[in-house]
Amino acid sequence: MTDNATPGDGQTVLETSGTTTLPPNMQVVAQFIRDFSFENPRAPESLRMEVRPEIDMGVEMNAKGRPDGLFEVDLKLTVKASNPDGAVFAIELVYGGLFQLANVPQQMIEPTLLVECPRYLFPFARRIIADVTSDGGFFPPFFVEPIDFGTLYLQQKDNLAAQQTQGQA
């Protein structure tokens, strides 16, 4: 197999046994906030915390195809902070993207949509959460730790397989 540059298109063309294929490609068509909620129920008392709050966080990734051949991918992040006195803040963010895939092998479409696309969306969603906690009066702002979407995807697949096995028993 050899890599050859096609003049003028900026893409690498792969030649294998006389056949020419283009490499897999993912393009972001659009990004958007689908749903967003921030609650600061005990402000301003919650802003003078002496104890670091306990954080409960959830992550979900969803993807679906569209009739136009594009894919919608949603990254849902939920963050609930509390201390012994009660809720400090609650955030629910569904950050979406519209993606176009080209030359992606069929077996790689699902992992691309549920690992690579959320990996691309994550820094933007993380920034929204940091900004809203800062704007909500919290210092320092809450920064979501990096997420290993590959591991989450594999766990999700394992959980689904275990549920299907239990359902058949």
Using the predicted structure, report yes or no on whether residue 53 has a pLDDT greater than 60.
yes
- Banded pLDDT at 14 (limits 50, 70, 90): very low
pLDDT single digits (tens) 88-130:
999 999 999 999 999 999 999 999 999 999 999 999 999 999 9
What SS3 class is residue 157?
helix
Lookup result for tokens 């239990």: 166
- Banded pLDDT at 166 (limits 50, 70, 90): confident
Lookup result for tokens 């959830």: 58
State the CATH class of domain 24-146: alpha beta
Q: 88, 82 in Cβ contact below 8 A? A: yes
- Measuring CA to CA, which residue among 133, 156, 165, 158 is closest to residue 58? 156
What ranges do the domains of the chain cover?
A: 24-146
Q: How far apart are CA 15 and CA 22, in angstroms?
A: 9
